[in-house]
Chain A
Amino acid sequence: MFHLNRRMRRTGSVLFAIALLTLSLLLVACGSRFQNVSGQSSSTGTSQQTTTTTTTTAADTATPQTSSPSGNTSQQLQDAIQAIDNALNDVSSADATAAVESGADEQP
């Protein structure tokens, strides 16, 4: 009976440890993400503006995922519509960054 309890306790401990390790990994990931978000949005704070480094979104640097105009007319138009959508996404990214100057213009 004692051996069984001890084994169960060990198993429970290992499971508990695994759960805690998983949780800690998640929290670390959460921490680094929070830090990134903080870096992005700190510019909206009233006293952090001068040290803000605006982050460049992947959409900014990536080549638009549209093929160049080629192929038949219908396909070309579908590609053009996709290009409009990509450009609209860029607008959303620019609007998100616009928050840097949407508050008070803080002096250093």
Chain B
Amino acid sequence: MKKISPLRMPLTFLAILAASGALLMCAFLPTSASAASVQAARCAADDLQCVIKAGDLLISNRLADLNILKTRVSNYLSEKRLTDAQASELQNDVSSNESGLQSLKTKLDAETVAKEARKDVANIYTQFRIYAVVLPRDRRHIVLDIEVNTRDKMVSAETNIQNAINQAPSDQKDQLNTLFNDYKQRISDADLQFQTANQTLPQLTPASFNQNRAAYEATRRSLDLALRTARIDLGQAAKDLSQMVKIIGHDI
């Protein structure tokens, strides 16, 4: 068989080179990036400036994400998904954590001994738990608030629904009453979930995370189940109303 010179197939040759390059890139890029991170992350035991710089980065990352949460709360407020009081409570929590981190940064930046600076860095985790506790908890708080507001809106519609059923033709009333009863039952079921959520949410704190991680996770799972079950209940109630509107033929 005749040998094929690479020069006679430049396109193929280039393609092989490109593929090889891509393979090498795939194989080495993440490793080199990780290696760079490790090198930058590790400080010598007495390298004060390195520890301060690393701590400042940890803090600035957390401040940036707290700010994103604050913006999100403002968006929900402007869309009237959250009430003023609900938004204020969340914003206050964010502000409290922000000022705490700012104070810690001031302390860290003023340290003169690496050992003390390392203690400050440890406090970024143990005192604040922005990523492990604060942001996930506050996001759940937003869910709970929106669910409660949705429940309130559903309850406030009950009188109008009842009036509409009263005025509906008699051949529609049975079906409408069945839907309305389910609507009310779903709201009642959601209320039970809110009780669980209101009990568990305040238990999600940095202290409880540090103290007993397993218990913390169990509490978080319980809260998640309550929030998701309430979502299902409210969703079904909304469907009930939608069906009632279709049967009645006009908005309620």
Residues of B within 8 A of A23 (CB): 19, 22
Q: Are B150 and A91 in contact (CB under 8 A)?
A: no
- Number of B interface residues, CB 8 Å? 78
Determine which of A85, A95, A101 lies in contact with B129 in the assembled complex, contact meaning CB atoms within 8 Å.
Answer: A101
Closest chain B residue to A21, Cβ basis? B15
Determine which of A14, A105, A108 lies in contact with B41 in the assembled complex, contact meaning CB atoms within 8 Å.
Answer: A108
Residues of B within 8 A of A108 (CB): 41-43, 50-51, 54-55, 118, 121
Give the size range of A's interface with the partner: 35 or more
**B214: Cβ under 8 A from any A Cβ:** no
**B107: Cβ under 8 A from any A Cβ:** no
The total of Cβ contacts below 8 Å across the A-B interface reads 218
**B242: Cβ under 8 A from any A Cβ:** yes
Interface string of A72-108 (1 = CB under 8 A from B): 1110111011011101101101110111111001111
Q: Are A77 and B153 in contact (CB under 8 A)?
A: yes
Q: Are A101 and B12 in contact (CB under 8 A)?
A: no
Q: Is the interface of A mostly helix, strand, loop or mixed?
A: helix
Give A95 to B224 CA distance when docked, in angstroms. 11
Give A26 to B18 CA distance when docked, in angstroms. 11
Partner-A contacts on B (CB < 8 A): 4, 9, 11-12, 14-16, 18-19, 21-23, 25-26, 29-30, 33-34, 37-38, 40-43, 50-51, 54-55, 57-58, 61, 64-65, 68, 72, 75-76, 78-81, 118, 121-122, 125-126, 129-133, 135-136, 139-140, 142-143, 146-147, 149-150, 153-154, 157, 160, 224, 227-228, 231, 234-235, 237-238, 241-242, 245, 251-252
Partner-B contacts on A (CB < 8 A): 9, 13-14, 16-18, 20-21, 23-28, 30-31, 34-35, 38-39, 42, 45, 47-54, 56, 60-61, 63-64, 66, 68-69, 72-74, 76-78, 80-81, 83-85, 87-88, 90-91, 93-95, 97-102, 105-108
